[in-house]
A and B are shown apart, each in its own frame.
Chain A
Amino acid sequence: MIIKTKSLLNKYLILGGLFILVLVVHQNEVLAFDKNPVVKAFQKQLESKAQNQSPGFKGFSAEEGEKLYHLKRAFSKDGETRSCTSCHTNDPTKPGETKVGKAIKPLAPKVNNERFTDVEKIEKWFRRNCKWVLERECTVVEKGHFIEFIYSI
């Protein structure tokens, strides 16, 4: 009799655990892919601009964004290799570090929901960092790819 109640309890525990696990996984998926209203509106703007600029535009792709994130380029003045990863590391869910040792919070919205919530800030950092790596500003298509990638993580 005692053994029976024990196994019954175990059954409930396992079922409860599974339920919580499913909940957590589901929640994470939602967080990872759900863009906040600010970035959604921003992305829409980029999309309409991209359609106007190039009629052959086929939408933003996370894959292209990933390529951009890992792109390595030699800086014209001293040949230094520069990339998004120089400061944000190979894994955007991990904290990074500026060239003078200042900590950077993770870039991926999945682990840092303060990211991509302010258009002025988004534009400021695209402007500065694209110039740092590419020595030019990013195009609307590149920005769209990048956001698609960062939300695919």
Chain B
Amino acid sequence: MKNKSRFLVVLMLMTMSLFLIATTAYADKDEDDEKEYNLLGKLEHSGEKGKKIFQIRSIPPVTDTTYLKECGACHFAYQPGLLPEKSWEKIFSGLESHFGEDASLSAEKAKSLREYAIQNSAEKANSKRANKILRSIKGEPPLRASDTPYLIHEHNEFPASVLKRKSIMSIANCGACHTTADRGIYSERYIHIPK
């Protein structure tokens, strides 16, 4: 009796681990963008050389909880990798008039968010897409990611009438169509344009 139950437990553990291996392998195969990100995560410890060779395709997702909470209270919490350092500096030095609205925070909070954005700006993102954004900017960098030439170009197939749909509201609402926007993944295959 004792032996039998021991055998059962071992059998159960074996099937469970098999399942785990199968699902992780499947996830890796299916989600290219994330795989690249995870790869980088591992490579980050192997020094500068690895960083230069392997660039991720996606924009690194936001990890700062205050950033997510404060910025995300009103709009999509744009990844700092969507804009160059200079844009973030300007944005965080003018929160009292943030695109026509008062988004003021305590000096302390504004400072820490500004630092977070600058430390993770497009220049630091080590991402192919962030580099495309950077390379497209000529002259003074804009304050909205949607005003960078690369993003304008990527969205120009959509007429204003699509972007103004009640389900989308505006080009600023990334997550309306990019179903994986909060993970920094803007691949075409994860786009779903709502009616």
Residues in A lying within 8 Å of B, measured CB to CB: 77, 98-102, 120, 124, 127-128, 131-132
Contacts and interface: CB of A to CB of B under 8 A. Distances in A.
**Residue of A98, A100, A127 with most chain B CB atoms under a 10 A cut-off:** A100
Interface stretch (B23-31, B51-59, B164-172): B164-172
A98 B102 contact: no
Contacts of B75: 98, 100, 102
B72 A100 contact: no
B102 A132 contact: yes
A100 B173 contact: yes
Contact of A120 (B102, B106, B170, B176): B106
B103 A101 contact: no
A100 B170 contact: yes
Contacts of A128: 101-104
B105 interface: yes
A104 to B, nearest CB: 8
A41 B103 CA distance: 26
Q: Give me the 4 closest cross-chain CB pairs, A-B, nearest first.
A: A101-B169, A131-B102, A128-B102, A101-B173
B21 interface: no
A102 B74 contact: yes
State the main secondary structure of chain B at its contact with A: loop
A96 B143 CA distance: 27
**Residue of B74, B76, B103, B170 with most chain A CB atoms under a 10 A cut-off:** B74
A99 B100 CA distance: 12
Contacts of A77: 100
Interface string B162-195: 0000001110110010000000000000000000
17 contacts: A77-B100, A98-B75, A99-B169, A100-B74, A100-B76, A100-B172, A101-B168, A101-B173, A101-B176, A102-B74, A102-B75, A124-B105, A127-B102, A128-B101, A128-B102, A128-B103, A131-B102
A120 B74 CA distance: 17
Contacts of B72: 102
Given A102-B72, A132-B102, 11 more contacts: A100-B169, A101-B169, A101-B170, A101-B173, A101-B176, A124-B104, A128-B101, A128-B102, A128-B104, A131-B102, A132-B101
Contacts of B168: 101
Contacts of A131: 102
Contact of A98 (B74, B100, B104, B106): B74
A83 to B, nearest CB: 15
Contact of B104 (A100, A102, A120, A127): A127
A77 B101 CA distance: 12
Interface in B87-140: 100-106
A79 B105 CA distance: 27
A82 to B, nearest CB: 11
B109 to A, nearest CB: 9
A131 B104 CA distance: 11
A131 B96 CA distance: 10
A124 B95 CA distance: 13
A100 B146 CA distance: 14
Contacts of A101: 168-170, 173, 176
A37 to B, nearest CB: 22
